Amino acid sequence: MKKNKSVLLSAPYILWMLAFTLIPLGVVGYYALTDPETHVFSLGNLKELGMYLPVLGQSAMYSLVSALICLLLGYPVAYYIAHRGPVAQKILYMLVMLPMCMSFLLRTLAWVGLLQDTGIINNILEAIGIGRLQLIRTPGAVILGMVYNYLPYMILPLYATLVKLDHRLIEAAEDLGCTPAKTFVKVILPLSVPGIFSGITMVFVPAVSTFYISQKLGGTDTVLIGDLIERLFKQGDNPNLGAALSLVLMLLVFICTGIMNGFGADEEGGVIV
């Protein structure tokens, strides 16, 4: 009797999630397939999408590159943290978490102050005689902004995988004559694959849809799909085209995460505090 009753506890939740995640996506679909003026069915919005494909490609590439840079930077750091004592681990873990809790808008704005032509870095470069460089409004600046903002999202899942790694396996590999490099390639790396993929997903998804980082750190050429969607909703007065672009973005993200999940972890989310 009890079992039946407690199953019912999930019903309000399922209804809630249907009402506020699935149905809204249906509404997005409805907007995407109707004409902005007449509200009748139309494929006009989808036809217009072709024009924005380069932007979509550019967004995907920027965020993929950022995710890989995060992986290259984050892996050694996660590895280092995972091999400290318990107290040091806690402190380092907290220091990685802390920036995530602070306003990313202001932190990105601080990068503008650092990178701009009259900014802090350029003032220093000028003072030591190197001269000013074009740092901001380059693709590099956008990628830097993404790496900066989402690096913790890479480190945390990697750390969670690496800290669970069974030390006896490494010892066994070494006993059997593996060099450290070989141990890494043969044992550690394959075992951390789930962490790698969950990290890449967690960096890729927010990066591909960002609109603030590219607005502040990018130039006139670094327009990302998030910028377009934001403009269409907030300024361009064309929510229907914006809805169509949102659908495309969602599709891209689901395909990418689907691939990642296929290769990577079977566990859910990979988020652990």
User: Minimum CB separation from other proteins for residue 167, in Å?
Assistant: 15
User: Minimum CB separation from other proteins for residue 80, in Å?
Assistant: 4
Q: Does 128 bind other proteins (CB under 8 A)?
A: no
CB half-sphere exposure, 114, CA atoms < 13 A:
10
Q: Does 188 bind other proteins (CB under 8 A)?
A: no
Q: Does 51 bind other proteins (CB under 8 A)?
A: yes
Three-state secondary-structure class, residue 34: strand
User: Minimum CB separation from other proteins for residue 129, in Å?
Assistant: 19
Residue position matching structure tokens 């032509």 = 117
Q: Does 150 bind other proteins (CB under 8 A)?
A: no
Q: Which two tokens stand for residue 24?
A: 């809204």
Cα–Cα dist 123/141, whole Å: 17
Q: Does 113 bind other proteins (CB under 8 A)?
A: yes
Of 214-243, which residues contact other proteins (CB under 8 A)?
Answer: 216, 219-223, 226-231, 233-239, 242-243
Q: Does 44 bind other proteins (CB under 8 A)?
A: no
User: Minimum CB separation from other proteins for residue 130, in Å?
Assistant: 17
Please identify, among the stretches 132-140, 158-166, 171-179, the one whose residues bind other proteins according to the rule CB under 8 A.
132-140
- CA-based nearest residue to 199, from 233, 253, 150: 150
Q: Does 269 bind other proteins (CB under 8 A)?
A: yes
Q: Does 174 bind other proteins (CB under 8 A)?
A: no
When binding is defined by CB under 8 A, the residue of 34, 42, 119, 178 that contacts other proteins is 119
When binding is defined by CB under 8 A, the residue of 62, 150, 153, 159 that contacts other proteins is 62
Q: Which two tokens stand for residue 111?
A: 């990068």
CB 112 within 8 A of CB 136: yes
Q: Does 127 bind other proteins (CB under 8 A)?
A: no
Cα–Cα dist 273/271, whole Å: 7
In terms of phi and psi (left: phi > 0; alpha: psi -120 to 50; beta: otherwise), the region of 268 is beta
In terms of phi and psi (left: phi > 0; alpha: psi -120 to 50; beta: otherwise), the region of 237 is left
